[in-house]
Amino acid sequence: MMMRWLYKLPLRLRSLFRRDQVELELTDELRFHLGKLMEENVARGMTPEEARYAALRELGGVEQIKEECRDMRRVNYIENFLQDICYGMRMLAKNPGVTTVVLLSLALGIGANTAIFSLLNAVVLKALPVQHSEQLVQFSETYPDGSENSNLSYPYFERLRHRNQSLSGVFAFTELGRVNVGFAGKADLAIGQVATGGYFSTLGLTPVAGRYFTDEDDKARSPVAVISYAFWQRRFGGDPFIVDKSITVNQAPLTVIGVTPPAFLGLQVGDSPDITVPMTLLGQLTPGPPDWDGAFDTWLEIMGRLKSGVTRQQAQAEFDLLHHQLLTDFAPTAGPDERQYVARMLANSRLNVKPGAKGFEWGLRHDFSLPLQILMMMVGAVLLIACANVANLLLARATARQKEIAVRLALGAGRARLVRQLLTESVLLAAISGAVGFLVAWWGSQLLLRMVSTGDSPLPVDLTPDLRILAFTTGVSLLTGVLFGLAPALRATRINLTPSLKEGRGQFAGQGRRRAFGLDRILVAAQIALSLTLLVGAVLFVRSLQKLWAIDPGYDRNNVLMFSLDPRLAGYKENGKLADLYRRVLNDLRTLPGVRSASLSLVRPVDDEAYWVNVISAIDGRKLPENEGIRIAVNALSPGYFATLGTPMLIGREFGPEDNEKSPQVAIISEILARRCFGSENPLGRSITRHGGAQFRIVGVVKDSRYGGVRDLPRSVLYTPFFQLSLADVFFSTTFEVRYSGGLSTMLDEVRRQVHTIDPTLPLFRVKTLEVQTRDSFVKERLIATLSTFFGFLAVLLACIGLYGTLAFGVARRTGEIGVRMALGARQHDVLWMVLRETLLVVTIGVAVGFPCAVAASRLLASQLFGVKPTDVVALSGGSLLLAAVALFAGYLPAKRASEVDPMVALRYE
């Protein structure tokens, strides 16, 4: 019966768009009928007037017939909906002040929620953009002491690959860090990684251009490379002929064979490799031979894909057995030092098979998962407060419109229709807020990302909102629309008609008093309780950050500029050349004006990239029992390091030019290490031996400092002279530290110029002051402190706006009553007190309820706090007092206004 639509569709469209015409026709049609009736009546002998009245009576209610015909038009719903929207817009525009406040607070609430959710999604929730990501698994090893390591050894990987039954594919990968990529004569830095042949096929990626390398390529050591989409765009300008072009990576010639899809950002959130190379090429790209044989030297990360039908639990069971087998196989290869270690491992270690759908779980995801969830809850609370505000404001406005609603009800409007119309208004508000909120979210998440990026470039985290976030914002908007639209709408239409239709405000006053603690007061109290919780949380985080910053790191953070060089990338390969270069840079730096002292080191203070560990196996030649070797951190320094950093030497001396490649190995040890090795005896002149046999004579003891960052406890550190290292074998880049006076940017320019003069092909990177480096090491704490403070204060502001609004409206409603009271003799401060009493009640209840909530919530946050207890007195009392003060101020204003009411005016208003 589709033929009918040929007629139906034009009718519908006409009813929608040519309504006036259609109405006219209906009138004409009925008029014609009336005319005919009149004719009949006249023919029967009535006068024209009588005929007309008789005809009208016969026909019945013309308007009713018209209305029924209109109902038949079947476009009513659309019409009504459009009508509701237009009316809603007009109502909103009528009250620009209220509308703006409501829109802004909602937009901010929705925007903040979406922004945090985008970040949470990108860092914690999003799955890898590969097919069937739920089949991916990642491996890690748990050690007897409970610690977990995501790295495994090459022999282990090889056997795992050959012997497992549960996986359809498995691969290993590891990062290369910074590599020098040369193309068309220019060299530039990029982030590289090596992976075994199964990397791309196991993940199931489709190349955007070219192809990927496979196990065959890996075995054949093909000199090939796969680049990322972003790198392709950035470095090669999206060259369509990139496939088969030649490049050099750390001076090794390779051919680009493929490009990964733009959505693929690597396996670890925040680490996006620009270039991936077959694992077998590792020896050509890094100094020193790779450790293919050390069964217990862990340096690879391994992921795999389960065969279809195999569950992770089944795989775990298989790998539990396999792990034991492999350890048994490897046990004979262990050196004499390692026997006990192996035995312990056999008894009590485990290979974990974890879900890998979202990629590798270490790094950024690990660090930020909990803080982001905490922030999510905070913004959720802010949104609730905003919704409560809006609910109150609309409730108040609905009460003010009671007369209008009563009239409409009396005229025959259905309650359903009215509720629908009021609801449409609210949903409209929510929709507009949602749209604005989405923009706020977009801008906000970019801001967030910048706050979190501490490296040389913004974190490669993909923050484009995907469907989940879109659905989330829409859902939140609609939910708020229904939440705060329904209550006021239902309340407003559930009124007794007669009192409302009568003029005057008297009945409002009566109503106000009977509901002494109505919905609006409860909402405000709840808002106050919530904002107290947020405020206390914010204060706790801020205090944590303060405590972190105040820790004495053992050095002077101010006015120290740091930068790193990696001359290997520019082709310096031999020890001699490297030493000369470093010496030259150091000396030239020292001659610059404004430089008070300069040094270089292998590991920078508060290093965010790596640190170096080892074990002391002998003191004064006397070997320590096998599992009592002293665990140490290691660094290699030039002369002047401690002077530059401002760490005092306790006894002995710093390194000097006499400690070089030809002189005996010396070392400086930290206070704690001195105490551990030698107790209260003088360590100078004594010797210690490091794992591997190297022996050092101690020439100095330095005060303890925080090696890895302020949260690090003072460690046992062994410092050796930089120039006594075999520089060509060193894997890290070198950091120069410069203590300067004067302006930072001038210093920076001079340093760059100086290095450029020495060698223009040497790129500087990781250029930061020590202060910024320290600050960046707290990025998590700073993020959460900044945001929680912002949201805490926002919550307080919104709650106080809510309080103010409710009270102001109450006062406005009771103007008549106040006038009467004053006329009967009440004085100004009596009225003031009367209104203030209400404020006091609401605030007291809010704080009373909020206090235990704040304590409970703070307990949940305990893991993120530093040096501050969850029940910190300052936070709790400070937060409560601050909130109470602001709230009382917000309540004072309407009270003041109430007390200034002129009784004559008020009474006349009635």
Partner 1 sequence: MSKPTDLVQGTLDLLILKTIALDPMHGWGIAQRIRQVSGEVLQVNQGALYPALHRLEQSGWIKAKWGESDNNRRAKFYSLTTAGRKYLEQEQANWQRLSAAIGLVLETP
Where does this chain bind partner 1 (CB under 8 A)? Answer: 1, 3-8, 11, 25, 28-30, 32-33, 35-37, 58-61, 64-65, 68-69, 71-74
3-state helix, strand, coil in the chain (%, to 5): 60, 15, 25
- Give the shortest CB-498-to-partner 1 separation in angstroms: 32
Strands 695-702 and 666-670: parallel
Question: What dihedral do alpha carbons 883, 543, 440, 797 form, nearest 10°?
Answer: 10
Listed residue (720, 466, 697, 737) closest to 599, CA to CA: 737
The CA-CA-CA angle for residues 730, 736, 739, to 5°, reads: 155
- Cβ atoms within 10 A of the Cβ of 527, count? 31
Closest separation in Å from C-beta 79 to partner 1: 14
Taken as a whole, the chain contains a residue count of: 910
- DSSP letter at 135 equals G
Instruction: Please give the C-alpha separations between residue 471 and each of 106, 114, 119, in angstroms, as whole numbers.
Output: 17, 10, 15
Nearest CA to 855 among 441, 536, 575?
536
Would you say 40 or 239 has its CB closer to partner 1? 40
Indicate the residue among 3 and 411 with the shorter CB distance to partner 1. Answer: 3
Structure tokens given for 587: 């000396």
- Smallest distance from the beta carbon of 47 to partner 1, in angstroms? 20
Q: Least separation, in Å, of the C-beta of 396 and partner 1? A: 42
Residue 774's nearest CA partner among 551, 564, 518, 511 is 551
Q: Which lies closer to partner 1 via its Cβ, residue 68 or residue 681?
A: 68
For 247-284, give the DSSP string: EEETTEEEEEEEE--TT---SBTTB--SEEEEGGGHHH
CB of 7 to partner 1, least distance (A): 4
User: Least distance from C-beta 51 to partner 1, angstroms?
Assistant: 15
> In the bound complex, what is the minimum distance in angstroms from residue 887's beta carbon to partner 1?
59
> Are the beta carbons of 312 and 137 closer than 8 angstroms?
yes
Tell me the C-alpha distance between 277 and 221, whole Å: 10
Residue bearing tokens 């320094």: 637
Least distance (Å) between residue 65 CB and partner 1:
5
Supply the minimum distance, in Å, between the C-beta of residue 531 and partner 1: 55
**Closer residue to partner 1 (CB): 41 or 533:** 41
352 forms bridges with which residues in the sheet? 140
Which CB sits closer to partner 1, 1 or 93? 1
Whichever of 28 and 580 has its CB closer to partner 1, that residue is: 28
Closest distance to partner 1 from the beta carbon of 412 (Å): 18
Using the minimum distance from each CB to partner 1, give the nearer residue, 18 or 74: 74
The torsion region of residue 685 among left (phi > 0), alpha (psi -120 to 50) and beta comes to: left
- Angle at 382 (CA atoms; ends 380, 386), nearest 5 degrees: 115
* Minimum gap (Å) between residue 82 Cβ and partner 1: 19
Task: Give buried/exposed letters for 821-854 (b at 16+ CB in 10 A, else e).
Answer: bbeeebeeeebbebbbebbeebbebbbebbbeeb
CB closer to partner 1, 58 vs 552 = 58
CB atoms within 10 A of CB 607: 21
Cα distance between residue 388 and residue 382, in whole Å: 10
Cβ contacts of 580 within 8 Å, gap of 6 or more? none
Give CA–CA dist 173/279, Å, rounded: 7
Smallest distance, Å, CB 909 to partner 1? Answer: 48
Cβ-based nearer residue to partner 1, 64 or 496: 64
Q: In the complex with partner 1, which residue's Cβ is closer, 37 or 579?
A: 37
Which residue type occupies 550? A
Distance (Å) of CA 445 to CA 476, 652, 677, 754: 17, 52, 51, 39
Least distance from partner 1 to the Cβ atom of residue 43, Å: 13
Q: Pick between residue 61 and residue 571 the one whose CB is nearest to partner 1.
A: 61
Q: Which is nearer to partner 1, 71 or 503 (CB)?
A: 71
Cβ at position 35, least distance to partner 1 in Å: 7
Query: At closest approach, how far in Å is the CB of 21 from partner 1?
Result: 11
Q: Which long-range contacts (CB under 8 A, 24 or more apart) does 461-465 make?
A: 461/119, 461/122, 461/123, 461/265, 461/269, 461/270, 461/364, 462/122, 462/126, 462/263, 462/265, 463/118, 463/119, 463/122, 465/114, 465/118, 465/438, 465/441
Distance CA 236, CA 242 (A): 8
Q: Which of 352, 362, 174 is nearest to 269 (CA)?
A: 362
Q: Which is nearer to partner 1, 31 or 515 (CB)?
A: 31
Q: Look at the block and give the residue holding tokens 């070198």.
A: 734
User: Least separation, in Å, of the C-beta of 81 and partner 1?
Assistant: 19
For partner 1, give the closer residue by CB, 6 or 873: 6
Q: Which long-range contacts (CB under 8 A, 24 or more apart) does 60-69 make?
A: 62/30, 62/34, 65/30, 66/26, 66/27, 66/30, 69/26
Q: How far is the CB of 66 from partner 1 (least distance, A)?
A: 8
> Which one, 28 or 681, has the nearer CB to partner 1?
28
Closer residue to partner 1 (CB): 10 or 335: 10
Closest to partner 1 by CB, 21 vs 206, is: 21
Give the per-residue SS3 of 156-195.
HHHHHHHHCCCEEEEEEEEEEEEEEEEECCEEEEEEEEEE
Q: Which is nearer to partner 1, 75 or 667 (CB)?
A: 75
3-state secondary structure of 563: strand
The least CB distance from residue 41 to partner 1, in Å, is: 13
Measured distance CA(417)–CA(399) in Å, rounded: 18
